[in-house]
Every structure is written in C-alpha cells, then in structure tokens.
C-alpha cells in the first residue's frame, strides 16, 4: 500500500512539473503584457516595474526562479492585483467553488445512484426508459444551455430564485448553479449505476442470496448495491474535472466570485502568475483525487490489488 502511494506520488511530480512548464512558457508566448495600460508607461517606469517582478531577467532565469518558488509553495505575487499574492487570491476564492462543487457532487451521487438502481430493477420497463432518456438528455444538453434556460424560467419568469449573485452563499442563490452543475453528473452516474447494477444482479452470488430466500430489498440494498457502485469510485477523478470545467461556465453566468470566473479574467488580463497558480492548483487537485479514488477502490474491492 505505502509503496503504491509512493510510486503514484513519484509519477505525480513529473506531471505537475510538466504542468508548470507548459503553463509558464505558454503564458510568456502570449502577446501583450500584464502592464499594458490605456496610457503607455514611460520606459524608466516600465523598467522598474519589470525589475520589481524579476521580469527583466532572461526567460530561462525567470523560469528557474518560478520553479524554485513553486517548490517552496510560493506561487508569487499577482501582477494585476497589487499587494496580493497568488496564494491569497486562491484562498479568497476557493470556498465558493468548493461549496458549489461539493454540493453538486453530493446531490448528483444520491440522485444518480437512486435513479440508476430504479432503472436497473425495472430493466426495459417504462421507468428504465424514462431514466435513460433523462440520462441521454443530461449528457447532450451542455451547461451553458441549461443555465440560461433555468434562469429564464425560474428567475426571470417565475421569480422563485435570484438570477445571479453569491449573497454569502445563501441557499436560494445556490439552487440554480448547483442544479446546473449536478445535472450532467446525475446523467453519467445514473448510467454507470444502472450498468453496474444490471451486471451484478445477474451474478452468481446474487442468485445464491435469492436461493437462500433473502428478501429482495436486502439483496438489492446489501449485496448488489455495494458491488454495483464500485465503478463510481473510479469516476471520481473525471467527475471532478467535469465539475471544474462546468464551474467556469456556471460562475460566469451566475456571476459568482469563484476560481473559475477568476481564471478566465486573469487569462485575458495576462496575469501570468495567477493563471499558472490556478492551473497548478487544479492539476494537483485532479492528481490527488485520482490517487484517492485508486486507494478507495482497493479498500472497497478485495479483487483489486495495488501493484
């Protein structure tokens, strides 16, 4: 187990190194600079500003400086927001994204698994077709379509919930963004659960459980479900990536002060350090979640051997 974790962490380091490298050189290749203003800076001031951020050195030296900083957990200062470090900006903005993401994945898990189990128990029945149609719609309707449509109906026409804004995370403000984020995940999770459940229900040990006369409810809840939701664990990493992508859209549409909204703005403003910091943050998050998923799977499923 510990050797497995060690090896996976050893793979994670070159991954993150690659992330830092690509992000660094791509941002530097971009035309324009974070110090472009409406009014042109005088050459002396520009020289001083560049010197302050160490940007007067050759690119190679800057890259090494940055790597050394990252290795010490220092992501540098923001180039646009004076007196703020990238870490401070991340700290300030991540609670919004975290709240959205966690609520969405929890709701999607509960709803998706229930729908998937229902569909599997009534395979080829009307419930099954209903759930699977919803699942296909959920995969095919992108978040940037559901979000404005839901706003149009529930905020603009019915006025039940506000159309945008964070409002310190009030529940009414959360309803629409979380729904939009959760819908595609519900679709995928219900499909995965249904497929797993159907397979398990045809397995020998479920037949054994039936043969010894266990009530159907116990068979489903205790024996089948446990094995059927195992594929969901490996879906944790991709789900997180999907939520991050979704949050870019959702935070823009609902005007929420989270990391996703910040990322796009910073990229457009050439705030190099903030953009790189966020890319590193998200990459690390995905790497860690994938590792956790693998470990969890090994704990839950005795057939899986860590090698």
Interface residues with another protein (CB under 8 A)? 11-12, 14-15, 18-19, 22-23, 26-27, 29-31, 124, 128-129, 132, 135-137, 139-142, 144-145, 147-149, 151-152, 156, 188, 191-192, 194-195, 237, 241, 244-245, 248-249, 252-253, 263-264, 267-268, 270, 275, 278-279, 282-283, 286-287, 290
SS3 85: strand
Shortest Cβ distance from residue 126 to another protein (Å)? 12
For another protein, give the closer residue by CB, 15 or 208: 15
Which residue lies nearer to another protein by CB, 75 or 279? Answer: 279
In angstroms, give the least distance from the CB of 228 to another protein: 14
Closest distance of CB 11 from another protein, Å: 7
DSSP string of 129-143, one letter each residue? HHHHHHHHHHHHS-H
Find, among 230, 274, 243, 294, the residue nearest to 11 by Cα.
294
- The residues with which 91 forms a beta bridge, in sequence order, are none
As measured in angstroms, the least distance from the Cβ of 29 to another protein is 5
How far apart CA 169 and CA 177 sit, in angstroms, is 11
Question: Which residues, 6 or more positions from 70, have their beta carbon under 8 angstroms from its beta carbon?
Answer: 20, 280
Least Å from the CB of residue 171 to another protein? 24
- Of 113, 94, 243, 96, nearest in space to 180 by CA: 243
Judge contact between 239 and 250, C-beta under 8 A.
Answer: no
Using DSSP, state whether 77 is helix, strand or coil.
strand
CB nearer to another protein: give 14 or 60. 14
């Amino acid at each position: 187990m510990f050797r497995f974790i060690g090896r996976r962490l050893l793979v994670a380091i070159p991954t993150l190194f690659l992330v830092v490298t690509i992000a660094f050189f791509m941002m530097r290749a971009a035309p324009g600079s974070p110090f472009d203003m409406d009014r042109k800076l005088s050459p002396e001031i520009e020289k001083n500003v560049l010197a302050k951020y160490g940007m007067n050195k050759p690119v190679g030296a800057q890259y090494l400086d940055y790597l050394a900083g990252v290795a010490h957990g220092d992501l540098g200062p923001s180039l646009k927001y004076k007196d703020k470090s990238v870490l401070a900006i991340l700290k300030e903005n991540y609670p919004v994204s975290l709240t959205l993401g966690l609520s969405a994945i929890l709701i999607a898990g509960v709803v998706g698994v229930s729908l998937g189990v229902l569909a599997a128990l009534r395979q080829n029945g009307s419930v099954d077709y209903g759930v699977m149609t919803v699942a296909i719609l959920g995969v095919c309707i992108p978040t940037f379509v559901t979000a404005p449509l839901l706003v149009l109906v529930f905020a603009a026409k019915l006025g039940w919930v506000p159309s945008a804004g964070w409002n310190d995370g009030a529940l009414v403000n959360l309803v629409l963004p979380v729904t939009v984020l959760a819908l595609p995940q519900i679709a995928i999770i219900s499909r995965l659960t249904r497929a797993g459940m159907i397979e398990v229900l045809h397995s020998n040990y479920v037949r054994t459980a039936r043969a010894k006369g266990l009530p159907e409810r116990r068979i489903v809840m205790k024996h089948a479900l446990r094995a059927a939701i195992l594929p969901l664990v490996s879906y944790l990493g991709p789900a997180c990536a999907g939520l991050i992508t979704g949050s870019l859209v959702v935070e823009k549409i609902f005007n929420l002060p989270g990391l996703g909204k910040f990322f796009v703005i910073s990229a457009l403003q050439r705030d190099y350090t903030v953009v790189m910091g966020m890319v590193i943050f998200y990459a690390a998050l995905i790497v860690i979640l994938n590792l956790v998923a693998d470990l969890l799977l090994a704990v839950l499923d005795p057939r899986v051997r860590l090698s």
